[in-house]
Structure 1
Amino acid sequence: MSTTRLFDQDAYLGEFEATVGRSVCEGGMYRVLLDQTAFFPEGGGQPSDEGTLDGIFVTDVQEIDGEIWHTVEAPLEPGKTVVGKLDFEKRFSNMQNHCGEHIVSGIVHRIYGFNNVGFHMGSDVITVDFDGVLTEEQLYDVEQEANEAVLRNVPVTISYPSKEELETMDYRSKKEIEGQVRIVTIEGCDSCACCGTHVAKTGEIRLIKILSAQKYKGGVRVTMLSGEKAYADYCLKHINTLGIARLLSVKPEEAGDAVVRLKQKNIEMKKEIKQLKKELYALQGAPERK
């Protein structure tokens, strides 16, 4: 049964009606096939949407052999018309994060020539693997340019070019794709083959933050966040920095240096204590304790 992919037509659609085509029970869980759906199935590094069908929780969505199956917590009768409601807060967060990743990957590819060879959007952070090594300074520049793209609020467009058009286009793709190719273009930033959901304009991303980077398989794995999650991460770290600054009686921007001084002082005090113990044992005529 072919399912109409409403999420491709409108990424902002949070509620829809559909007819149940088939329903199966496997391992105590129920899976249903609909004639149309706004639930995005897991793919391209992006997790599936969650939500409800007639109030029944949808816990997973997978595309298997071209069919989109929804895992639900109770059975639904074939032929029944149901109302689907997405957890749109999660959907929009995925849109922000996926679009933010495209911007960062596009900038890295354009400036340094490195390819995105792996992408995973987890519940807490997203990771992007590049086939070349990037320094902290380079990643800082990438982040700065990425946020400038957010501020420009440029359009994010979806297109389905013909085979002939694709041959003349410059776009990123991790693998050879058979059949119709879906291209996500971010004006002035990136053009990439992608099946995921994205915001309509970059301003909706709000913020892109690179959290860390580590060497990985000859390249680098970048951990990052975009949108509401990036802002929440900043707020949490800001609160922690304020707390440390208060404890050390310094300004928040001086907290890092103050911790370094405290650590160095601790090292020196340990050395001093060790020396004093050595002198004490010598005076007592006792062997030095290790």
Structure 2
Amino acid sequence: MHTAEHVLNQTMVQMFGIERSFSNHLERKKSKCDYEFNRALSPEEEKAISDSVNEQLQRHLPVEEHWLSKEEAEKRYNLGKLPDDAEDNIRIVTIGDYDACPCIGEHVSNTSEVGEFVLGSTSNEEGVLRLRFKLKRP
């Protein structure tokens, strides 16, 4: 599940120049990610997001973990979501050449294991864009 979230987040960063999701809820049947974004998406943008996420998932990218000192991780990544009592070594999850970020969640070993990303609906209220999606497992 977290692998799909990472790919979606990086897609949103690349397409719209926004920050990664500030809130998310990931489950097998349905998931959501919330972004600070000041407008609704067009149907064309929704399709482009789905197409881009699925293109990356189908690239069979390796998903790996690496450990960095907190000091080194702060130089490269936004650690704003880390708890104050985070350990001195930070787990960084990389998804091929597409994404890298701190994460404590569970991941597949290859993006091909995620299945198909299906964008269910989007909404925008008070500057929060919510994307609801599910994954069709292979």
Match of 1:106 in 2: 10
**Is structure 2 residue 131 aligned with structure 1 residue 222?**
yes
- Residue type at the aligned position of 1:144: D
Are residues 101 and 172 of structure 1, via their aligned partners in 2, closer, same or farther at CA, if it must alter by over 3 Å?
farther
**Is structure 2 residue 81 aligned with structure 1 residue 175?**
yes
Distance in 1 (alpha carbons) for counterparts of 2:99 and 2:129: 20
Percent identity, please: 27
**Is structure 2 residue 24 aligned with structure 1 residue 119?**
yes
- Secondary structure of residue in 1 paired with 2:104: coil
**Is structure 2 residue 69 aligned with structure 1 residue 165?**
no
Are residues 118 and 167 of structure 1, via their aligned partners in 2, closer, same or farther at CA, if it must alter by over 3 Å?
closer
The size of the alignment, in residue pairs, is: 132
**Is structure 2 residue 39 aligned with structure 1 residue 131?**
no
**Larger relative contact order (Cα-Cα within 8 Å, sequence gap ≥ 6):** 2
Shift of 1:219: 2.0
Give the 5 Å matches for 1:4-19: none
**Is structure 2 residue 108 aligned with structure 1 residue 199?**
yes
Gapped runs of 5+ residues in structure 1?
Answer: 1-96, 232-290
Alpha-carbon RMSD across the aligned residues, in angstroms, is: 2.1
- Secondary structure of residue in 2 paired with 1:197: coil
Distance in 1 (alpha carbons) for counterparts of 2:116 and 2:71: 36
Shift of 1:226: 1.8
Larger of the two Rg values belongs to structure: 1
- Secondary structure of residue in 1 paired with 2:134: strand
Distance in 1 (alpha carbons) for counterparts of 2:9 and 2:24: 10
Are residues 166 and 173 of structure 1, via their aligned partners in 2, closer, same or farther at CA, if it must alter by over 3 Å?
closer
Shift of 1:160: 1.2
Distance in 2 (alpha carbons) for counterparts of 1:156 and 1:145: 18
Shift of 1:223: 0.2
Match of 1:67 in 2: none
- TM-score scaled to structure 2, two decimals? 0.83
Distance in 2 (alpha carbons) for counterparts of 1:148 and 1:216: 29
Equivalent residue in structure 1 for 2:59, among 111, 135, 152 = 152
Give the 5 Å matches for 1:42-121: 97-115=1-19, 116-121=21-26
Gapped runs of 5+ residues in structure 2?
Answer: none
Shift of 1:128: 0.5
Distance in 2 (alpha carbons) for counterparts of 1:134 and 1:155: 33
- Secondary structure of residue in 1 paired with 2:50: helix
- Residue type at the aligned position of 1:220: L
Equivalent residue in structure 2 for 1:208, among 117, 123, 130 = 117
Contact 1:107–1:189 (8 Å) recurs in 2? no
Shift of 1:142: 1.5
- Residue type at the aligned position of 1:202: T
Stretches (4+) displaced over 2 A: 171-174, 176-180
Contact 1:129–1:216 (8 Å) recurs in 2? no
Are residues 117 and 187 of structure 1, via their aligned partners in 2, closer, same or farther at CA, if it must alter by over 3 Å?
same
